[in-house]
A and B are shown apart, each in its own frame.
Chain A
Amino acid sequence: MASEDKSDLRSPEDRGTTHSSADELLHVAGLGRKFGGLTALADYDVDLRSGELLGIIGPNGAGKTTLFNVLTGLVPPSSGEVRFCGKDQTGAAPQRLAEVGMARTFQNIRNFASLSVIDNVKVALQLHESVPLWQTIVGTRRYRADQARIHDRAVDLLELLQLDQARDHRADGLPYGAQRRLEIACALALSPKLLLLDEPAAGMNPTETLELMHLIRRVHEEFKLTIMLIEHNVHFIMTICHRIQVLNYGRVIAEGEPAYIRKHPAVIEAYLGHGASDA
């Protein structure tokens, strides 16, 4: 299976299309990551155009989160190349990537527990609004104006994610679904071009999942975002994504539109085991 020609993995519609660099946001080629003898990710390629919504699925341990960790600079790649907005960002630090427009959420929620909800958002907002420390200490007019603007933007974002009621609560005191929304709010606060969501619906009940789906669609359109989404909920991903990549054992085993992926034998085999595709 590993020796299969790559072009065969793509759906007929995708085959042969080369995206022009003008609207190409992310170009990844041959990305790989080894942990000791374990290959967590190998020969990963993707080209994302602005505004795309790419879903990534795969069994547990397939390398999905490793992919996100490598893309966002938490783990340096062992091989390969990452170009973001036309610039080489291979192995760039997380802070740098956030600066150029890559934002992510985590599978296990990672908000700042001892900060209030609104301060969590403000931490992210101040990326593009940094004030020299002396101005902070003196409390200059510019500093106060900046803080007022950050505050207003934070309130707007919290309203968008229906968190404005809880704005002064500590982040770790929120219900689970709200914590997930807070993470998304923080990611949006970075004004990203590319948003990477790692299992945003994990642990949510069906109603919450549905709401989240609408929310992701909404921010995708309103913020003109490009989104990469890892999700186990197949209905969720099939409904929302334009294109889906399937990972298994650290490799892409299939790529294409939802309808194509649904019928792809390699995908069925990865999920249901060998022999299931013959049935």
Chain B
Amino acid sequence: MRRAIPVLAGLVLLVALLALADMSLNSYYLRILGLMGIYIVLTVSLNLPNGFTGDFSLGHAAFMAVGGYCAAVLTMPLVSKELLLTELPTWLQETVVPFPIATVAGGLLAALVALPVGLVVLRLRGHYLAVATIGLLIVVQGIATNWDSVTRGARGLSGLQPHTTLWWSFGWAVVTIFVVWRMAYSPFGRAMVSIRDDPLAAACRGVRVFRTRLVAFIVSAFFAGVGGSLLAHQITAVTPSTYSFDVTFLVIIMLVVGGMGSVTGSVIGAVIMTVVPVLLRDLERELDMVGTAQLVIAGALIAFMIFRRQGLMGTREFRLAGRFGPKASSPSPAPDQSQTPTSS
């Protein structure tokens, strides 16, 4: 149990910092901090297929939409439901589910959707898989825009309660990190990485290749659904554009900047890509040079891809003094790191 002490200390520190932030920051910065927690959930979970298994999915926003709409319909106050969602079946019309349960339900529905989707798209690998998952995103967007009786189309669902506090978004971030870490540094994680390195050799060494990829995809979709619900209840509204390509690509950027195949890298990537744009925006407002922030970020990303393609962490992990999770099952850092996630 000695290994758990640094982790517990870290958690206590996190709680203290969040309490401090909760008391001292204004609502604008609180929102950004909350958003950071949500992006940690999204990035760390996307790491399972994209980073560890080598299945480059661009469909994360699709699962966020599934989870977000599901949770929104469940938590929407009765008054708003009577007004906005008149065509809902009566049992749904008359129930309001508490936010935590609705969020888990959103995650479960996303995972449920990921099962048949995964069975089909995971027959592909590499670029083909990426394109197929974009297709999924388009399909989900299409459904969200046209299923008027549930999603209200392009108008979306508004009037949600602002349930997503700092505590919920960072609580889920901690849960996501814990689950993904335990999966990544375990027999399951070794199986994922072996598939990323060489799927054929993995099969010859007894790895259940398809099942492992499918499970990683589904767990990732669960947390995407959770993240979708958190986002919906932070903005207090969902429209199809809440879960657009932009969100998918922002999360991909966070993942790549942090380092694919590193849980702590994903956290760092999410934090940086949330904080830096905000700081730059403040700066450009002060200097009266509107628009430069985006140029700077874009330039920085290009430079980053040229000089540090493997991301900040590569596949390494930032570890507290002791260890966090099962002992010494992580790949050790090597002098030469050739970070090509897929070899297909």
A and B, one complex? yes
The residues of A with any CB-CB pair to B shorter than 8 Å are 72-74, 93-95, 98-99, 103-104, 106, 110-116, 119-120, 122-124, 126-131, 133, 136-137, 139, 144, 147, 150, 168-170, 172-173, 186-187, 189-190
Q: Is the Cβ of B331 less than 8 Å from the Cβ of A95?
A: no
Q: Is the Cβ of B331 less than 8 Å from the Cβ of A119?
A: yes
Tell me which of B178, B179, B186, B215 has the highest count of chain A C-beta atoms within 10 A of its own C-beta: B186
Cα–Cα, bound, A168→B331 (Å): 8
Interface residue from B183, B206, B315, B331 paired with A136 (Cβ < 8 Å): B183
Q: Is the Cβ of A94 less than 8 Å from the Cβ of B203?
A: yes
- Report if B58 contacts A (CB, 8 A): no
Q: Is the Cβ of B332 less than 8 Å from the Cβ of A95?
A: no
Q: Is the Cβ of A72 less than 8 Å from the Cβ of B187?
A: no
For B, the interface residue count at a CB cutoff of 8 angstroms equals: 37
- Report if B319 contacts A (CB, 8 A): no
Q: Is the Cβ of A94 less than 8 Å from the Cβ of B188?
A: no
> What residues of B have a CB within 8 angstroms of the CB of A74 in the complex?
200, 204
Interface residue from A115, A168, A170, A173 paired with B194 (Cβ < 8 Å): A115
> What residues of B have a CB within 8 angstroms of the CB of A73 in the complex?
203
Q: Is the Cβ of A170 less than 8 Å from the Cβ of B187?
A: no
Cα–Cα, bound, A206→B35 (Å): 62
- Report if B104 contacts A (CB, 8 A): no
Cα–Cα, bound, A103→B197 (Å): 19
Given A104-B204, A115-B194, 14 more contacts at CB 8 Å? A74-B204, A95-B208, A103-B204, A103-B205, A113-B197, A122-B190, A122-B329, A123-B205, A124-B205, A131-B187, A133-B188, A147-B186, A147-B326, A170-B331
Give a binary string over B197-226; 1 marks a CB under 8 Å from any A CB, 0 the rest.
110111111111100000100000000000
> What residues of B have a CB within 8 angstroms of the CB of A120 in the complex?
194
In chain A, what residue has the closest Cβ to B335? A173
In chain A, what residue has the closest Cβ to B208? A95
Tell me which of A114, A147, A173 has the highest count of chain B C-beta atoms within 10 A of its own C-beta: A114
Cα–Cα, bound, A98→B206 (Å): 5
Q: Is the Cβ of B187 less than 8 Å from the Cβ of A126?
A: yes
- Report if B267 contacts A (CB, 8 A): no
- Report if B191 contacts A (CB, 8 A): yes
